[in-house]
Amino acid sequence: MNKINISVSIFSIALFAVVFAMQSMASENPHWEYYGDNGPDAWGRLDQSYIMCAEGKNQSPINLTNMIEGSLPDLKLKYSKSGTEVVNNGHTIQVNFAPGNTMTVEGRTFELKQVHFHSPSENNIEGKSYPLEGHFVHADKAGNLAVIAILYDHGEHNNELEKAWEYMSASSGDKHMLPNKINASKLFPEKHAYYRFNGSLTTPPCSEGVRWFVMKDINNASQRQVRKFISVIPHDNNRPLQAINAREVIQ
């Protein structure tokens, strides 16, 4: 191989490395926060893929009010002890679930993927905020999302919640396997009556078309458990309330 060919080859390799690096950088999602310059008011401007955060008309969370009566089907929950891992993802504490936990409603079956938490609560009920809210995120085989929201007030110690709380880390990115697996059904209130509305993800990209089911009954967590969550996620991690617009909240 002559010198010209060697130079061309080196240049080609270098060019490929630069292009690859630029593509990798472009593919990374822009950093968002709950506060400061990258806070909720800026989410829709951070990246084109986040545009729904600014322009969406069916955004979550909301203040649930002016509910209308409707015939809502029962939530058919089939959960087992399969919450296997607790993660600090930098925005919240999340418990990941093994396959096999399902919710069937409105003729569709969704599988529970993860549960994560917000403090204070994201959704309000008749203007009332709560110290903690859990989002049980489900997906069907086509990728459609359904979220069950459970609000927690100060009260008795929550034994099932403690299985995750005992191992949650204050360091972003930390993961811990849970020696005592979590049964998601034990994080629910006794009764499963709910409010129903159509909404979105509450974090970027704020995608709409999410089915929301907010439990009417409030569950309990001790003040110590709420304080521990706040010490690990040391800033409010709730998106501000969004306009209801023309949506109906059915009960």
Active site residue ranges: 91
Residue whose tokens read 């939530």:
75
If DSSP codes are grouped into helix, strand and coil, which group holds residue 41?
helix
User: Are the C-beta atoms of residues 176 and 243 closer than 8 Å to each other?
Assistant: no
CB 127: neighbour CB atoms within 10 A? Answer: 9
What's the farthest any 2 CA atoms get from each other in the chain?
82
3-state secondary structure string across 162-203: HHHHCCCCCCCCCEEEEEEEEEHHHHCCCCCCEEEEEEECCC
